[in-house]
Structure 1
Amino acid sequence: MTSPRTPSGAPDPQASQAHSRLAAVRARLELPLVRRASGMLDGRHRSVFSGHGQDFDEMALYLPGDDVGDIDWKASASSGHPVIRRFERQSNLAMVLAVDTGRTMAALAPDGGTKADIARFVCDVIGYLARGRGDTLALVAGDAERIVQVPARGGTEHMEMLLRRIDTMLSLEAPPSNITHVLDRVLTWFTRRSLVVVVTDEVRPPLEAELTIKRLRTRHELLVIQVADALPTDFGTDPVEDVETPLGLPEFLRARGDMAAEARDAVARRRSDVAAMLRRYNVPTVTVASESDAVDRLADLLARSRRARH
């Protein structure tokens, strides 16, 4: 986990932002991307709440992208065209953001930006989609020393407050990461079946969290978004420090090709072990390496998890 060396006491640009986070994310999103991600969340609604939980609204022609489970075969046979039964949703989707706020989340990302900026943007997008759909969103954020819980509510004011809480917790001065602590709190706090979206490091949740993952998966829908980490050998002669153990890495070591290969292999092994654990419990996951690909990656994750349920 690496970070750029910056003067102590330098102002944090995020702390000075006073504008609406939801308005800012809306300005950055293209409408087709928003519709795609929101449509995937519609698919999650039926996965989280067994059965429709809805009142019949109308009959309509089947269109590509509609759920084939809604096709009324008798009406389709009579009309000669595929016809679906549309329902009016009665309950909103209950969502929980489970965010790793340990100091490694403020390290460098592969594109040279910070993982904290990527994590903030991912959370902003989720909050924006939840607000736009009228869903409720709760927060459990924390690390080895802190835990923050925000009950599930809807509306702009709630989403803005929730996102600001996440914003203030992501920094290099934060305690070490402990996403297992966060997941354990989700497990004990939420009894209503929900869609739990975990935002953490690319080599987490750790293998030690397997029992918690197993128990969460039986109670909730679970998605994991991993924020990619930069290798200390990726920045040539630029000085970097390790976030977890703040020691500078000498240039002559960073320049060694064998060291770079060994670092890549070690990360690949950890990624593979975590990925295998998540696959055992059918937990869809995606790795986000930059803000620019965050929405596409999130939409792909929702699409894959939706297909896995049908």
Structure 2
Amino acid sequence: MPSTVESYLKPEVIRQISRLDLRAQFIVKGFLQGLHASPLQGFSVEFSEHRRYAPGDDPKDIDWLAFAKTDRYYVKKFEAETNITGYLAMDLSASMGYRYRQELSKFEYATCLAAALCYLMVHQNDPVGLVTFGERIVDSLAPKSKRAQIGNILSLLARLEPTDKTNVANSLNQLAAMLKHSSLVMVFSDLLEDPEPLLASLRRLRHGGHDVIVFHILDQAEVEFPFEGLVELEDPETNERLEVDADGYRADYLEEINSFRDMLGRECVKSKIDYVPLDTSMPFDHALMEYLLNRRDWG
């Protein structure tokens, strides 16, 4: 069993736990213990009335104590914090099942993260629902804030398999048409598709009055390209194969994938969409911290 705060958050430790509910509990426990042991001690109380500084805010309202502890600018919030309705939007595409030398596939990493966020939201009395999609929406659970919702969502997540072809843009457009009230949409995907319709669908959600956070999840090998010599690459959705000289291809590949992530990040910032690039070697606290910090702005 995990013995330190950090180990609760490592994918290689989480992999040893078979049940998704226990994985989620360990991740959340490690995250909250880490907050307690860090300079952010007392975060949930001390910063509950803060939000991030934004252009247009009066600099006189900056809380310099908060800055000293977090190295980020915060201003005091005086309005009452409200609950927010969340949707976990999970990509079921076959490419999400990819795993190379890592303990968790992209899909397993995404489901662990989604399960942990489900726990966090319900424990904050925030209603949370689940949408799964391939080329279109497959499953949908309406948001609820009761504790039983954790079991409902985790039960469905645990049964899912990443086997579909994907059309993230079409699925998110369907979701935008479904939503009747302002919500927080959390997207878990490798986003391996044409970026233009993808970005258009994210903007449609944003323009519909919804807050959006994109967890862009890649395998570590997709980020670092550790291959050598002649390798055969296969598209899991089309089964197309391509043999390449990895050493000669590496520089071009890394430039392409880094440009792709940078472009997505820039475009999301322009549309006030939160973009969180992740890979499957990363501890879960990075993504959870991004959610918790940004929730101060959404509340």
For the criterion TM > 0.5, the same-fold answer is yes
Classify the secondary structure of the residue corresponding to 1:246. Answer: coil
State the Cα distance separating 1:199 from its structure 2 match.
1.0
Separation in 1, partners of 2:26, 2:248: 44
Pick one of 184, 192, 206 that aligns with 1:195. 184
Q: What TM-score do the two structures reach when normalised by structure 2?
A: 0.70
Residue deviations 1:252-304 (CA, integer Å, cap 9, x gap): x35x4111222222222322332232122021111121365222233135425
State the Cα distance separating 1:92 from its structure 2 match.
3.0
Residue 277 of structure 1 aligns with which residue?
Answer: 267
Residue 22 of structure 1 aligns with which residue?
Answer: 21
Residue 5 of structure 2 aligns with which residue?
Answer: none
Separation in 2, partners of 1:302, 1:38: 10
Separation in 2, partners of 1:257, 1:153: 50
Pick one of 59, 64, 68 that aligns with 2:76. 68
Root-mean-square deviation (Å): 3.8
Classify the secondary structure of the residue corresponding to 2:129. Answer: strand
Identity of aligned residues (%): 16
> Are the aligned partners of 1:100 and 1:142 in contact in 2 as well (CA < 8 Å)?
yes
Residue 32 of structure 1 aligns with which residue?
Answer: 33
Classify the secondary structure of the residue corresponding to 2:77. Answer: helix
Residue deviations 1:160-218 (CA, integer Å, cap 9, x gap): 221232333333xx111211132112211112111111111155683213332222112
* Residues 270 and 161 of structure 1, relative CA distance in 2, 3 Å threshold: same
Q: What TM-score do the two structures reach when normalised by structure 1?
A: 0.68
1:290 and 2:280 are equivalent in the alignment: yes
Structure with more contact order per residue of length (Cα contacts < 8 Å, sep ≥ 6): 1
Residue 179 of structure 1 aligns with which residue?
Answer: 168
1:300 and 2:290 are equivalent in the alignment: yes
Residue 3 of structure 1 aligns with which residue?
Answer: none
Separation in 2, partners of 1:27, 1:202: 27
1:227 and 2:220 are equivalent in the alignment: no
* Residues 285 and 94 of structure 1, relative CA distance in 2, 3 Å threshold: same
Separation in 1, partners of 2:49, 2:193: 26
State the Cα distance separating 1:233 from its structure 2 match.
4.6
Classify the secondary structure of the residue corresponding to 1:234. Answer: coil
> Are the aligned partners of 1:100 and 1:178 in contact in 2 as well (CA < 8 Å)?
no
Pick one of 249, 252, 258 that aligns with 1:259. 249
Pick one of 228, 237, 243 that aligns with 1:244. 237
State the Cα distance separating 1:99 from its structure 2 match.
1.5
> Are the aligned partners of 2:136 and 2:171 in contact in 1 as well (CA < 8 Å)?
no
Separation in 1, partners of 2:86, 2:120: 11
Residue 210 of structure 1 aligns with which residue?
Answer: 199
Residue deviations 1:52-74 (CA, integer Å, cap 9, x gap): xxxxxxxxxx995585132xxxx
Separation in 2, partners of 1:44, 1:138: 26
Residue deviations 1:51-102 (CA, integer Å, cap 9, x gap): xxxxxxxxxxx995585132xxxxxxxxxxxxxx9x5x6x532111111111
Aligned residue pairs: how many? 256
Separation in 2, partners of 1:145, 1:216: 16
Pick one of 141, 144, 158 that aligns with 2:132. 141
Separation in 1, partners of 2:194, 2:44: 27
Separation in 1, partners of 2:249, 2:44: 45
Classify the secondary structure of the residue corresponding to 2:174. Answer: helix
What is the identity, as a one-letter code, of the residue corresponding to 1:234?
P
* Residues 274 and 67 of structure 1, relative CA distance in 2, 3 Å threshold: closer
Separation in 1, partners of 2:51, 2:140: 23
Separation in 1, partners of 2:159, 2:212: 25
What is the identity, as a one-letter code, of the residue corresponding to 1:161?
N
* Residues 124 and 244 of structure 1, relative CA distance in 2, 3 Å threshold: same
> Are the aligned partners of 1:105 and 1:115 in contact in 2 as well (CA < 8 Å)?
yes
What is the identity, as a one-letter code, of the residue corresponding to 1:68?
K
Residue segments in structure 2 that go unaligned for 5+ positions in a row:
1-14, 53-62, 67-73
> Are the aligned partners of 1:225 and 1:287 in contact in 2 as well (CA < 8 Å)?
yes
